[in-house]
Amino acid sequence: MAAETRGPRRNPEEAFNAVGDHIGGDREQLLSFGTDEDLASVVQPGSDLVILAQVQSLFRWAQLSSIWPMTFGLACCAIEMMSAAGTRYDLDRFGAGAMRATPRQSDLMIVSGTVTAKMATRVKRLYDQMPDPKWVIAMGSCAIGGGPYFKHGYHVVKGVDMMIPVDVYVPGCPPRPEVLLEGLMRLQDKIRGKKGRLVRPKWIDDYITRIPD
Amino acid sequence: MTPAEVEAGLREVFGDRILSSSAVEEGRDTAWPRRIDVAVDALEEVCRYLRDSQGFDRLLCVSGIDYEGYDESGKGKHIEISRYEEDGSPTPTKPGSGDLAVVYHLHSRAHGGEVAIAARVRRTEPKVPSVGQVWPTALWAERETYDMYGIEFEGHPDLRRILLPEDWEGFPLRKDYAMPSRYHDVPLEGAPLAVRTSPREVREEKE
């Protein structure tokens, strides 16, 4: 428990989120943690302390909190992926820092780079070897749609989604580590059950209106 | 050692098997690198002579040229390369008729000079002697040139594709190459798979 959470909480929802985001759909059925001490008492063994939740939601929460990606880099995007997993951006904050060197222990395949015709069969095979439930992030322009090779790349699969189903697309060439973190959080939303929403920031609208015809 | 001295030495030894050079064509008399066109049958001897007598001990690069689309003077360079139709199929291309060429860039650690040796061959019979006996590093570079242009290097001990799969059809950097739309069961062009749908996706977020 972090030190700054000491003292009474004004918002019970905040304490609730500290246990796990949105355990269950109905918040009324859950315990309300008014203070930090209430929250801490949950972890003490006791017969009267029971959390009611949908077990499916609990599983989802466990899945989204420990997404283990596969160590799988194809091209220059892999450099950004390594950076995202490193100390500065620290993918492990989201529970996704345990890069597995085998598909059999992985939940997430980050297709980070150009998928060539030669590599595509290997990508498919690695995906098939991953146990369910499994997710795919297509990272970078090449994995999304062929990138700079989209027209005359004789050896490039124009989008890895022709080979395997993709959950989240992370654009960029290559995407910065922050963007990959954003993609990971959107994947967590997807596992949690939220529908994806894209809110266009105001500065983009302002920018578009200023573009001359 | 100047470019003119290198060329003079070559012309003295090989005579009219030295075809032309960039000093004549472009008026670049003193600048490195000097490009020298040689006859195909003299290629290996020229390379051995340059290594042993002129000090060019380093092979920088082996490249290929497709002269399809060049005019008589060798200046025209625009050609329409194969594109896709609206339905995704590649446009049919007629077989090319231009020559192919192979270029060796040499460098001397002794005097810093740099020359490019070019040999031009017919497209119908693209065969060039290998210089792997002169510079062993040429073996991989020649495999790559074979991979991309289909130029066969005679005397190469292991001439097969190096980058592309071994059963790849065609030579991609030739200008009459038709773009493939799939490789075995791998689609290179097309629509994505059906978007993954599951109950957790269609579930509405509770506000």
| Per-domain residue ranges of chain A | 2-65, 77-192
Q: Which of B187, B195, B206 sits opposite A162 (nearest CB)?
A: B187
Predicted confidence at residue B143, as pLDDT, reads 93
Task: Please give the pLDDT value at position B174.
Answer: 85
Distance CA B82, CA B206 (A): 52
Rounded mean pLDDT of B147-151? 91
pLDDT at position A22 is: 45
CA distance B96 to B104: 24
Instruction: In chain A, count H helices and then E strands.
Output: 8, 3
What torsion, rounded to 10 degrees, do the Cα atoms B16, B19, B24, B29 define? -80
**Chain A environment of B165 (Cβ under 8 Å):** 117-118
Question: Phi and psi (nearest 5°) for B92?
Answer: -65, 140
For the question of an ipTM over 0.85, the answer is: no
| pLDDT (0 to 100) of residue B104 | 93
Which regions of chain A are under pLDDT 50?
1-3, 5, 9-10, 21-22, 24-29
Residues of A in contact with B200 (CB under 8 A): 60, 190-191, 193
Least confident of A154-158, B39-43, B90-94: B90-94
Residue-wise pLDDT for B93-143, tens only, equals 667 778 899 999 999 888 888 889 999 898 888 999 999 889 999 999 999
Q: Are B120 and B127 in contact (CB under 8 A)?
A: no
Q: Say if residues B143 and B163 touch (Cβ distance below 8 Å).
A: no
Q: Using CA atoms, how far apart are residues A80 and A141, in angstroms rounded to an integer?
A: 13
Q: Does B179 contact A195 at a Cβ distance shorter than 8 Å?
A: no
pTM: 0.70
Task: Please report which confidence band the pLDDT of residue B89 belongs to, taking 50, 70 and 90 as the band edges.
Answer: low
Examine the pLDDT at B197 and tell me if it is beyond 60: no
pLDDT, position A69: 92
Structural domains in chain B, sorted by start: 3-206 (3.30.460.80)
CB spacing of A162 vs B203 below 8 angstroms: no
Q: What is the pLDDT of residue B81?
A: 61
When scoring A162, A166, A197 by the number of chain B Cβ atoms within 10 A, the one with the most, hence best to mutate, is A162
A200 CB within 8 Å of a chain B CB: no
Distances (CA, A) of B8 to B14, B18, B23, B46: 10, 10, 11, 13
Give the mean model confidence (pLDDT) for residues B35-40.
87
pLDDT of residue B207: 38
Contact B169, B152 (CB under 8 A): no
Neighbours of B129 (CB within 10 A): 19
Chain A contact for B198, CB < 8 A? no
| pLDDT given for residue A25 in this prediction | 47
- Return the pLDDT at B194: 57
User: Coil, helix or strand for B66?
Assistant: strand
Q: Give per-residue pLDDT as tens, B46-76.
A: 999 998 988 888 999 999 988 887 766 666 6
What is the pLDDT confidence band of residue B27, given thresholds at 50, 70 and 90? low
Q: What is the mean pLDDT of chain B?
A: 80
Fold classification of A77-192 is Rossmann fold (3.40.50)
Q: Is B186's CB within 8 Å of A117's CB?
A: yes
Q: What percent of chain B has pLDDT over 90?
A: 18
| Residue B172, preceding peptide bond in cis (omega within 30° of 0) | no
Contact, A103 vs A126, CB < 8 A? Answer: yes
